[in-house]
Structure 1
Amino acid sequence: MHKTDTRTVANHIARQCAMALEADGHGPDDFYRHTGITRAQLVEPGGRIDAQRHRRMVAYAQQLPLQRGMLDIEPQHWLAHFPEVAQVCFNRPALRDALHQLLQLRGLIGEFDFMLMRENGSRVEIEYLSEFCPQGGAMQALANFKILSLVARAYDDGVPTAFEASFQGKAPWFAPAVSDSFGAPARYGQARNTLVFDARRLDAPYRHFNTLLAPHALEHAQAQLHKLRSAQRFSARVEQAIIDLLATSDGLQADSASLLPALCDGLAMNSWTLRRQLQQEDTSFRALELRAKSRESRRLLRETTLSVAEIGDRLGFSSQSAFTRFFRTQFELPPARYRQEAR
C-alpha cells in the first residue's frame, strides 16, 4: 500500500530559495514550473510545502550552477520568520543549551534535513545531512551553518567565534565570501558537510539570560512543534492537496465528482484506500472538501479582485447564490461583506 509522505517544510524556505534563484537570474515562472509550488503557496501565512514539491525544489536547485543568492540571505531576516525558534535559542543559560534547543526545534522549520552535534575535547562538530541532495547539499548546508553561527556568536564574550566550514562538492566562485562570513578558510571537496568551532565556553553562563522569560518561550515553542506534528496527519495532507487542486482549477474540475479522481491520481492511490485512511482519522473526503473550499474562498476574497460569482464558479458551485449560501453557512455573513471587512 502506498504511504503518503506527510513531512513538510515551512514555505519561508521555498520563498527564500525562489528569491535566491531569482537574484541569480532565474525567472519565477521557471521556479513554479519546475517545483510545482504556486505563488499562493509561497505567501500563505504559516504555510508549509509538502514532500513532493520539496523534492522537486531541491532537484531543480541542484541542477543549477552554484551562485551567490543563498549566501546573500541575511540570517537575521530569515530567523524573523521563526520567532518561536529565535526566542528560545537566543535566551538560554549557556551556548550548549542553545545549540541543543536549535537542533530539537528545527522541525518548526523543516523535516527533510538533519544536523548532528558531536563533541571532541574542546571542539564541537556539527554535521549537516540532506536527504534529497545527491550532490551533498552544500548550499543547503551553507544556509544552515549561517544560522547556527549566528546563534553561537550571540554567546560570544569578546572575540568572535571562528568556524571551520567544510563542504562536499567543488568550491563556488564566491568561496572567499563564504570564508569571510565564518571567520576562517572554508574547505571544499570534503566527504561531509561540517562546521567545527572551539567550545571552551560551551557551558559559560550567558550574561544576558532572562530567567523569567526563558521557560515560557520554550513551552510555547514546544507546543507549536507538537501542534505542527499533530496536524501532519494524512487528513491534513489531503486537505492541502484539495486546496492545491482548487488553486489551479478553472471551475470545471472543482466539483466533488472531478476532484476525487484528480486527488487520488496526485496521491497515487485509489479512492477506496483514500476513504479508508480518512475514516481511520474520523473524517471523510466530503468534510475535507468543504473545509478546503472554505479556506480557498476566504483567500480569493482577500487576495484577488475576482467577483463573488467568479469565485463561486472557480470553486465548482453551480451558481453565485449557491456559493453565497455555502459561505454564509460557514461564516455567518455573505462573501461580499467578508471581503469588505477583511480589507
Structure 2
Amino acid sequence: MSAPLHNDPLPFITLPNWVNAAAHCGFNIRPIFDELGIQTNLVNLEEATISLPLMGQVMEACVERSREQHFPFVLGETFAFDYLPDLATFVATSPTLRQAVRVFDWVRTLINPMIDVRLEEEGELARLVLVREQDPAEPEGRIGAYFVESLFAAIIKFGRSIAADLEADAVLRLRFAEPPYAAVYARSFRLPVRFSQPLNALEFPRNRLDQPLAGGFPSLHGQAEQRVSQRLAKMPRRSGLIAAVEAVFDQEPRLLGQGIERVAQRLDLHPRTLQRRLHEEGEAFAELQGRVRYRRALQDLEDPKLDLETISERLGFSDRRSFTRAFTRWAGASPSEFRRRGGGKPPLG
C-alpha cells in the first residue's frame, strides 16, 4: 500500500475504541480531543476523519497519560467492531483461519487504508504481514511503533478468540528495536516476540490456515459476507486509480464483461502496471469488477422496465444464468427473489 500523504484525512470510525481504551487506562480522552480540536460527533461517525499527524499526537498524549498500562496494547486489546458488527460475525463464524483473514481486505476499505495486512505463505510458514512503505526521510519512529503494537495486539486478540491455542506456535516479528518496556510484551502478547526484524508480521505454521475452527458456522458466515459485500457496493467511489477504473466501467459498461487487458488499454497502461497499482491501493481487479457489477445490478433491479436478460447484458455477463449465479453469490438471493423482496432492497440478514 502506498503511504498516504501526511495531511490526507483518514477515517476515524474507531473513535469509540480510543475512548474505551483510555477509560481502561484510567483517564478521560475528551480533554485530548478538545485540546487538539477533534470533532466527536457519534451521530455521523462514519464521516469522521483525522489526519495522520493528528492521530499521532493523540497516540502520544494517550501514552503519556497512561501510567500503569501501555496504551497501544490496551487500544488493540479493547478493539471491537462496534459499528461494523458484520465483520465481527464474519471472523467469529469463520470455518478456518484462511477464511478469517479475508477480513483484512475489507478493513482497508471500511476502517483505515493504513491497516494493510496481507497473508503470505512460504514453505511451512504463514505470515500476516503489515505492509507499510515508509517515507525514507521519516524512518519509523516511536509513534509509528505504537500503531504497529496496537494493530498486532488486536490481531492476536481476535486470533486467540477463534483459535485459543494461537500462542502455542506463533511468533511476533517487529521491525523496530527492542523498547525499554519490552518486558510488558510477555504479559500482553503471551507469545515470543522478536525485534529488529525485516518485517512486521505474525508468523505461524502454514497448516494452521486450513484446520477447522470450533466456531465455524457456515450459514452465519455467509450471511455476514453478503452484508459486507452490500455495504461495499454502496460505498461512494474512492480516489486514485480505483476511481479511474470505475469511471471507465461507467463510461463503457461493456468492459465489465472483459478482462483487465482491455481496461488497461483504455487507461493507456500495461496490464501488469494496472494490476500492481491497484494492489498498491489495496484492491484486486476482479474484486473491483465484481463490486461495480453488483452496485450497478442493485440500481438496475430498481427499474421495473429492465428485464433480467437486459440487465445481464448491460453488466457484461454472457447470459442470464451467469448473472443469476453471480448475483446470488453477492446477495444471497437470486435477482428475481431480490426484486420480490422490495424492489432492490437488501435481503434481511
Distance 1:46 1:65 in 2: 24
Other-structure match for 2:55: 57
Shift, 1:155, TM fit = 3.9
User: Aligned match of 1:204 in 208, 211, 218?
Assistant: 211
Instruction: Check whether the contact 2:12–2:48 (CA below 8 A) recurs between aligned residues.
Output: yes
Which runs of no fewer than 5 residues in structure 1 stay unpaired? Answer: 234-343
Other-structure match for 2:38: 37
Bigger drift between 22-31 and 174-183 goes to 22-31
Shift, 1:112, TM fit = 2.6
Shift, 1:115, TM fit = 1.3
Distance of aligned partners of 1:160 and 1:113 in 2 relative to their CA distance in 1, 3 Å threshold: closer
Instruction: Check whether the contact 2:117–2:128 (CA below 8 A) recurs between aligned residues.
Output: yes
Shift, 1:127, TM fit = 2.0
Residue type at the aligned position of 1:139: Y
User: Aligned match of 1:151 in 147, 152, 158?
Assistant: 158
Other-structure match for 2:148: 141
Distance 1:46 1:171 in 2: 36
Distance 2:17 2:202 in 1: 25
Distance 1:149 1:140 in 2: 14
Other-structure match for 2:123: 121
Distance 1:131 1:23 in 2: 31
- Percent identity, aligned pairs only, is 18
Instruction: Check whether the contact 1:105–1:225 (CA below 8 A) recurs between aligned residues.
Output: no
Distance 1:93 1:182 in 2: 24
Q: Deviations over 1:194-252 (max 9, x none)?
A: 22122322112234322222221101012223334x1768xxxxxxxxxxxxxxxxxxx
Q: Deviations over 1:12-68 (max 9, x none)?
A: 24751795499487974344433x412x33x335334325x3442225535986761
CA RMSD of aligned residues (A): 3.9
Instruction: Check whether the contact 2:74–2:150 (CA below 8 A) recurs between aligned residues.
Output: no
Residue type at the aligned position of 2:221: A
Shift, 1:98, TM fit = 0.8
Distance of aligned partners of 1:169 and 1:157 in 2 relative to their CA distance in 1, 3 Å threshold: closer
Distance 1:216 1:13 in 2: 27
Q: Look up the SS of the partner of 2:74 in the other structure.
A: coil
Other-structure match for 1:87: 89
Distance of aligned partners of 1:10 and 1:54 in 2 relative to their CA distance in 1, 3 Å threshold: same
Q: TM-score, normalised by structure 2?
A: 0.53
Q: TM-score, normalised by structure 1?
A: 0.54
Shift, 1:7, TM fit = 5.9
Distance 1:62 1:123 in 2: 35
Shift, 1:106, TM fit = 3.8
Which runs of no fewer than 5 residues in structure 2 stay unpaired? Answer: 240-349
Instruction: Check whether the contact 1:116–1:126 (CA below 8 A) recurs between aligned residues.
Output: yes
Distance of aligned partners of 1:60 and 1:79 in 2 relative to their CA distance in 1, 3 Å threshold: closer
Distance of aligned partners of 1:99 and 1:154 in 2 relative to their CA distance in 1, 3 Å threshold: same
Other-structure match for 2:234: 227
Q: Look up the SS of the partner of 1:189 in the other structure.
A: coil
Distance 1:227 1:86 in 2: 20
Other-structure match for 1:179: 186
Please show how residues 278-289 of structure 1 align to structure 2 within 5 Å. Answer: none
Other-structure match for 1:110: 112
Residue type at the aligned position of 1:9: P
Larger Rg: 1
Instruction: Check whether the contact 1:6–1:232 (CA below 8 A) recurs between aligned residues.
Output: no
Q: Look up the SS of the partner of 1:190 in the other structure.
A: coil
Distance of aligned partners of 1:108 and 1:158 in 2 relative to their CA distance in 1, 3 Å threshold: same
Distance 2:177 2:58 in 1: 18
Distance 2:176 2:73 in 1: 16
Please show how residues 269-280 of structure 1 align to structure 2 within 5 Å. Answer: none
Distance 1:167 1:92 in 2: 27
Distance 1:29 1:141 in 2: 25
Q: Look up the SS of the partner of 1:202 in the other structure.
A: helix
Q: Look up the SS of the partner of 1:117 in the other structure.
A: strand
| 1:47 paired to 2:46 | yes
Shift, 1:87, TM fit = 0.7
Q: Look up the SS of the partner of 2:178 in the other structure.
A: coil
Distance 2:49 2:227 in 1: 24
Other-structure match for 1:73: 75
Please show how residues 184-199 of structure 1 align to structure 2 within 5 Å. Answer: 184-199=191-206
Instruction: Check whether the contact 2:92–2:215 (CA below 8 A) recurs between aligned residues.
Output: no
Structure with bigger RCO (C-alpha 8 Å, 6+ apart): 2
